[in-house]
Amino acid sequence: MPTKAIRTTLALPEDLLAATDEIVRSGKARSRNELISTALRHELANRRRAEIDAAFAAMGDDEEERAEALAIAREFEEADWEAFVTGERLYQGGKP
């Protein structure tokens, strides 16, 4: 279901408006509205990804988190090896 559009006014630097109009003229966007909406969605998604990346980076400095991740890795060590060996057999045309 499409999101309701609300009319607003933007003041853009002249060069951005000219570039926007060129993109619309070339057919790469249907309208200024479409291009600006798409650009804003991309920017907001990039910012959200940056927030998530920062949270994961902080986890790397957390000794408790690191110890838990190592413990989990050790618990799955044998199963990981078995999966690797099975995959190698299958890759070489053998049976699991």
Q: pLDDT of 22-32, one tens digit each?
A: 999 999 999 99
- Amino acid 2: pLDDT: 72
- Amino acid 96: pLDDT: 61
Q: What is the DSSP string of 43-90?
A: HHHHHHHHHHHHHHHHHHT-HHHHHHHHHHHHHTHHHHHHHHHHHHHH
Question: Model confidence over 21-78: pLDDT tens digits?
Answer: 999 999 999 999 999 999 999 999 999 999 999 988 888 888 898 899 899 999 999 9
Q: Which residue has the higher pLDDT, 91 or 82?
A: 82
